[in-house]
Amino acid sequence: MIMHSILAHSAIISPVLRILAAWMLVLSFALLAQRRLLSLIRLLAWQGVTLAVGTALVGQLTGDPVLWVSAVLTLSIKGILMPYVLHYLLRRLQVRGDVEMTLNVPSTQLLGILLVVFAFSIAAPLDGYLPAATHGMLGIALAAFLLSFLMMITRRKAISQIVGFLAMDNALFFAATSATLGMPLIVELGIALDTLIGLVVIGVFFFQIRDTFDSLDLHYLEHIREDK
């Protein structure tokens, strides 16, 4: 029965899924290029919404009602709650202006392209083990993951690091839902809870860091290491 419904829907749904995946990658590149903190958070929210839509489509494709629950959760947590909290933090901490980058935008973008090529070359051999509807998705998920990692490396401000961290989480989530057609709800809930707790802890840290150094620039943290 399930196989039948997959075959019936896949003709319409898989192209849409592919477009969403491409959109995910575009958003990751945008995150890598964006200098303004406010826009970063907005892009993160868009990623969350894309994930939610993707999950819903996969739910439609497989006919698994649990994935719909997951889609609603994703939308509320990743699409609305987290960006809102980050936005609130931004206002409370009165961080303004541009993000300082350790590497300029064009070079970062070029590095990003290399990473995408690398990710696809890694993921291509694995396509044989995955359902036909999701070919290429794993590569995109891996690319998005590496791009978020690169973003964390190239930024200095604490807020942009947390954005990179959440984007990494999004990429993993994308790999789990789109590339392998869903994972058990309990695992998903666990991951969501972990991310939320991580966000709370990091939020507390933000205040501590700002109180200690009068800035959220992580470069000041270098002074607190153990002395020889």
- Dihedral sign, Cα of residue 51, residue 52, residue 58, residue 64: positive
Which C-beta is closer to other proteins: that of 68 or that of 149?
Answer: 149
What is the rounded CA–CA span in Å between residue 134 and residue 216? 41
Structure-token pair, residue 124: 């291509």
Q: Phi and psi for 150 in degrees, rounded to 5?
A: -60, -40
> 22, 72, 153, 204: which one contacts other proteins (CB under 8 A)?
153
Checking 218-222 for CB contacts under 8 A at 24+ apart, the result is 218/156, 218/157, 218/158, 218/161, 219/156
Cβ atoms < 10 Å from Cβ of 195: 19
> 4, 91, 96, 228: which one contacts other proteins (CB under 8 A)?
228
Which C-beta is closer to other proteins: that of 72 or that of 221?
Answer: 221
Which C-beta is closer to other proteins: that of 74 or that of 154?
Answer: 154
Which C-beta is closer to other proteins: that of 86 or that of 142?
Answer: 142
* From 3-11, 92-100, 197-205, 213-221, span contacting other proteins (CB under 8 A): 213-221
218 binds other proteins (CB under 8 A): yes
The minimum distance between CB 146 and other proteins, in angstroms, equals: 8
List binders of other proteins among 98-137 (CB under 8 A).
102, 118, 122, 125
What is the rounded CA–CA span in Å between residue 220 and residue 209? 9
- The site for other proteins (CB under 8 A) is made up of 102, 118, 122, 125, 146, 149-150, 152-156, 161, 218-219, 221-225, 228
